[in-house]
Chains A and B, each alone.
Chain A
Amino acid sequence: MAEFLDLESQDGVRMPWNVIPGTKQDAQNAVVPVSAVYTPIKHFTSMPLLNYSPLRCRTCRSVLNPFCIVDFAAKIWICPFCFQRNHFPPHYASISDDSLPAELFPQYTTVEYNSDAVGPTNTPSVPPVFLFVVDTCVIEEEIGFLRSALAQAVELLPENSLVGLITFGMFAHVHELGFGAVPKTYVFKGSKDVTKDQLLEQMSFFAKKPRPAVGVVAGARDGLSTESISRFLVPASECEFTLNSVLEELQKDPWAVPADQRAARCTSTALSIAASLLGACVPGSAARIMAFIGGPATEGPAPIVSKQLSEPIRSHKDLDKDSVPHYHNCVKFYDGLSKQLVHQGHVLDLFACALDQVGIAELKTAVERTGGLVVLAESFGHSVFKDSLKRVFQSGDYDLGLSSNGIFEINCSKDLKVQGIIGPCASLEKKGPLCSDVVIGQGGTSAWKMCGLDKSTSLCLFFDVVRKETPDATMQSTSNQFYFQFLTYYQNNSGQMRLRVTTLSRRWVAGPESIQDLIAGFDQEAAAIVMARQVSFKMETEAEFDPIRWLDKALINLCSRFGEFQKDTPSSFSLSPRLSIFPQFMFHLRRSQFVQVFNNSPDETAYFRMILNRENVTNSVVMVQPSLICYSFHAGPEPALLDVAAIAADKILLLDSFFTVVIFHGSTIAQWRKAGYHNEPEHQAFAQLLLAPHDDSDLIIKERFPVPRLVVCDQHGSQARFLLAKLNPSATYNTESYNPGGDIIFTDDVSFEVFLDHLQRLVVQ
């Protein structure tokens, strides 16, 4: 376990199989895919930053790395991916085995090249762009919350950034912040989509000069004047007063809403205009559309529901039955929008704060493909939204490290092929021999666009082992290593262009004798997360997919292959420590909100899955199997089993399920607190006991994005359901006896013990 964390702290990679099944058949028998969860721009303290261009293989374009074989005398290096012999250029003349460049150091498997150090000096860095798209179809109180949140965001904006504002309701208003005398907006009908050409014409971008006759018009180099652009995208330092004035005047959408109807909200039109505006003004630059949406879209090319209140918003049941009149048209529209944004290199962030759904399920494609952030809260006044928005612009220790214009490329050994990526990226359609015919996620390519990424953004890469098993032992390959190289070009939040190169080597094994080697290299946490991403993906893309059956079958097959047992003897079953908690992960995964969608809206499910698809392994494990810490008088804080048996009258529990942090007081603790004992001097220990979980939860909340919701509750209280839903129901109303002072869970779900018992029976038969 610890060695997998060491690998992650060196390269940002977690792989389920760190000893890789070496043939197609072995990989299929392994059940858990050959895959990697990679964090492209994870922060490393000891990573070298190289101020020269990388050396690349003539044939496959992979970068010089520690696994290359070097002939110092002949000044030749051999690429481990395609075995091409490459000559060192003249400025590597002094290379020798005691004079190595940094990228050949064995410990520097991850290096970063500073692209700005090479090439034309003093290239002016393009400022980042923030385009706020604000929903005004909300009640006055929400407008007030939104106003103050945006005012704070404007203060925290980087000094050199450009700011734009679009507000929308029945109509979309593009605010001209650069026009000084009178506040001015361009108004577009919410019911009509606007193309970029229409936008250029209608917003007078060519008022002073003739429009170019041919070609795609975009950006300053294509005829748009800086003056035109600066009407709508204004430096933050210049427009603070104007923007704050506009925000002060922000009003509820003025159109009257009949009592039997929803407000007319043209979300899709506003986002389309935002995309076209950025595409016209700043294509290819770092730019974010930040959408603040307070309710369902009812107007425009992609409403998620009609205005009639008699028509309910779609639920999972509707999706399953395919009785969703708007859904598919919406998804298609936002798919087109995401293609446009990816082509422009721009990001769509989504802040959804409403008691009802807003359409996250439909917008998921656009946010995910562009690498955007997503926050879901009940109100713009809720701390989840307010603190999360603050964190977007915060610098210092908890800086998100927002970066842009990422391009991610993969090279790997000949006997491996790339199936695809599940994560916040979009395919660049770079086909080649590296691409597998079997696609998972964004596949059919070896290069992806990551318009937006941050230092914890993680991609899940899937590989197909295509090596055939050779009957003749004498034909064994000279090498038993698979090599991977991940290249990430990106622009960091200081505007510098970087290329990060991570090169990995993993041993492969083949045949029936390889079981023990495979087990020794199994990272069950990474495996759990790969399975979670894959099952979520399958639930969204495969009709009639049964996730429970699929997970159970996978688990049975995995245990059959890698467990030790005597046939037909359940009690003989055992798993290596490398796999022993994997069944537990699967148990909690099949009970998690990623698989059990009954109690959640499609928006909530989409939200949970978007976060799962972008977080690293450690955070994702907390989503699948929350952590539980117990506080009591008898001992300091200690981890507790995620089980209802952990509940006791004299204990406090701290549950972290990533999206929610729950502080749960046992009934005796609650009584004492209500009686006010912690306010008495002689009960200082009790006061400290009450305070301890809050200190720990503050630490969690402070460093996490999106900021989790804090729930403080007591045993038998209604809010306790946030905890009970996550616990193993070892004690229910069906069980004979339970711990006095403890609790039972009112459920028919099977407990982990029953689950494990069934698993053992099925494996050994």
Chain B
Amino acid sequence: MVSIKIGNLEYCAQLDATGRRVDLNQRPEVTKGTVEYVAPTDYMVRPPMLPVYFFLIDVSITAVRSVMVEVVAQTINSCLDELPGIPRTQIGFATFDSTIHFYNMKMLVVSDLDDIFVPLPDYLLVNLSESRSVVETFLDSLPSMFQDKVNLESAFGPALKAAFMIMVTLKDNDNEMSRRLKKVLEKFRSTDCAYYQLCHLVRQGEHPKEGFFLLSNLFEDQMGANIGYADWMLQISRQVQQA
């Protein structure tokens, strides 16, 4: 399989003496069964989502004493150049033991594990290219930060949830289409609280904008609902098409 870039190439070609296209050797799609195209902007609603890498690092006593923290820091540091998506790549870190530690020029500790929240609206994810030196400094100092800590507990579940919350709270969130979908949800919820339900990222409909909306505006609700998930998605889909 080969990838080719489609430009302004003409699709017609002359035949040679044996009856084959003269550009046979330049057009893999006419000789190969499987090909992949790099899509131009005509095929995109908007630029692709920023690549986001969020590292959750266990810093409880077991991890520290087994030198895992040190190895993890070194490994991540050595792989920074290999992360795809540069220069748009976003990167973030959190560590956890009995509490969750976020980083933004300082350590922000969230200790309420029953009601996890993100302590800052932004800057917990940074652009890797622009903040390369800060990231490297952080990774260099990470092992010594927790060298003397004695903490037996490891709150992986809440930490994972926090990472999820950070990654869905991107700056691109505030746009016209996001606001429209939020209004739809708010209207539903104001009429029937059953619409406060867990929302999974699963495509259902055929409309190309539907997936975009869901990707941009992932909502999470803990409340149970008596309405089926599929029905909910169906109504969302209808509203989207009317918008």
A residues near B (Cβ < 8 Å) are 171, 173, 181-189, 192, 198, 201-204, 207-208, 249, 254-256
Contacts and interface: CB of A to CB of B under 8 A. Distances in A.
Contact of A185 (B107, B117, B149, B150): B107
B111 A203 contact: yes
A254 B122 contact: yes
A227 B138 CA distance: 26
Interface in B144-162: 144-145, 149-151
Contacts of B119: 171, 173, 187
A207 B150 contact: yes
A201 B112 CA distance: 9
B115 interface: yes
B145 to A, nearest CB: 6
Given A182-B106, A183-B105, A184-B106, A189 B144 contact: no
Interface in B92-132: 98-99, 105-112, 115, 117, 119-123
B141 to A, nearest CB: 7
Nearest to A208: B150
B86 to A, nearest CB: 27
Given A171-B119, A187-B119, A181 B151 contact: no
Contacts, number: 59
Nearest to A203: B111
Of B105, B108, B109, B117, most A-chain CB atoms within 10 Å: B109
B115 A249 contact: no
A187 B151 contact: no
Contacts of B108: 173, 184-185, 187
Contacts of A185: 106-109
8 contacts: A182-B145, A184-B108, A186-B111, A189-B117, A192-B115, A207-B151, A208-B150, A254-B120
A202 B110 CA distance: 8
Nearest to A183: B106
Listed from nearest, the 6 A-B pairs whose CB atoms lie closest are A202-B111, A183-B106, A187-B119, A184-B107, A186-B109, A187-B108
A202 B149 CA distance: 15
Nearest to A174: B109
Contacts of B121: 254-256
Given A184-B107, A203-B111, A207-B149, 6 more contacts: A183-B106, A187-B110, A188-B112, A204-B151, A207-B151, A255-B121
Given A189-B112, A189-B117, A207-B151, A202 B144 contact: no
Contacts of B112: 188-189, 192, 198, 202
A173 B104 CA distance: 14
Contacts of A255: 121
Interface residues of B, number: 23
Contacts of B145: 181-182
A202 B113 CA distance: 9
Contacts of B120: 254
B144 A181 contact: yes
Contacts of B123: 254
B109 A249 contact: no
Contacts of A171: 117, 119
A188 B112 CA distance: 7
Interface of B: 98-99, 105-112, 115, 117, 119-123, 141, 144-145, 149-151
A585 B123 CA distance: 61
A708 B143 CA distance: 54
Contacts of A182: 106-107, 141, 145
A172 to B, nearest CB: 10
B111 A204 contact: yes
Contact of A202 (B99, B105, B117, B122): B99
A192 B111 CA distance: 13
A216 to B, nearest CB: 21
Given A182-B141, A182-B145, A202-B99, A187 B109 contact: yes
A135 B117 CA distance: 20
Contacts of A249: 105-106
Contacts of B144: 181
A189 B107 contact: no
A184 B150 contact: no
A68 to B, nearest CB: 59
Contacts of A187: 108-110, 119
A439 B203 CA distance: 71
A209 B109 CA distance: 20
A174 B120 CA distance: 15
A256 B123 CA distance: 13
Contacts of A181: 141, 144-145
A192 B106 CA distance: 23
A328 to B, nearest CB: 27
A181 to B, nearest CB: 6
Contacts of B106: 182-185, 249
A703 B112 CA distance: 47
B159 to A, nearest CB: 14
A204 B98 CA distance: 8
B120 to A, nearest CB: 6
Between B105, B117, B120, B141, the greatest number of chain A beta carbons within 10 A of the residue's beta carbon is seen for: B117
A8 to B, nearest CB: 53
A746 B98 CA distance: 68
B109 A184 contact: yes
Nearest to B142: A182
A173 B109 CA distance: 9
Nearest to A189: B117
A188 B119 CA distance: 8
A305 to B, nearest CB: 23
Contacts of B141: 181-182
Contacts of B109: 184-187
Contacts of B105: 183, 249
Nearest to B151: A207
A182 B105 CA distance: 8
A184 B151 CA distance: 17
Nearest to A256: B121
Nearest to B110: A187
Contacts of A192: 112, 115
B151 to A, nearest CB: 6
A415 to B, nearest CB: 58
Contacts of A203: 111
Contacts of A208: 150
Nearest to A255: B121
Contacts of B98: 204, 207
Identify which of A185, A187, A202 gathers the most chain B CB atoms within 10 Å of its CB: A187
A181 B149 CA distance: 13
B115 A189 contact: yes
A192 B112 CA distance: 10
A348 to B, nearest CB: 25
Contacts of A198: 112
Nearest to A190: B117
Contacts of B107: 182-185
Contacts of B111: 186, 188, 201-204
Contacts of B150: 207-208
Contact of A204 (B99, B110, B115, B117): B99
Nearest to B117: A189
Contacts of A201: 111
Contacts of A188: 111-112
Contacts of A183: 105-107
Nearest to B123: A254
Nearest to B147: A181
Nearest to B107: A184
Nearest to A182: B107
Contacts of B115: 189, 192
B171 to A, nearest CB: 11
Nearest to B101: A184
B153 to A, nearest CB: 9
Contacts of A202: 99, 111-112
Contacts of B151: 204, 207
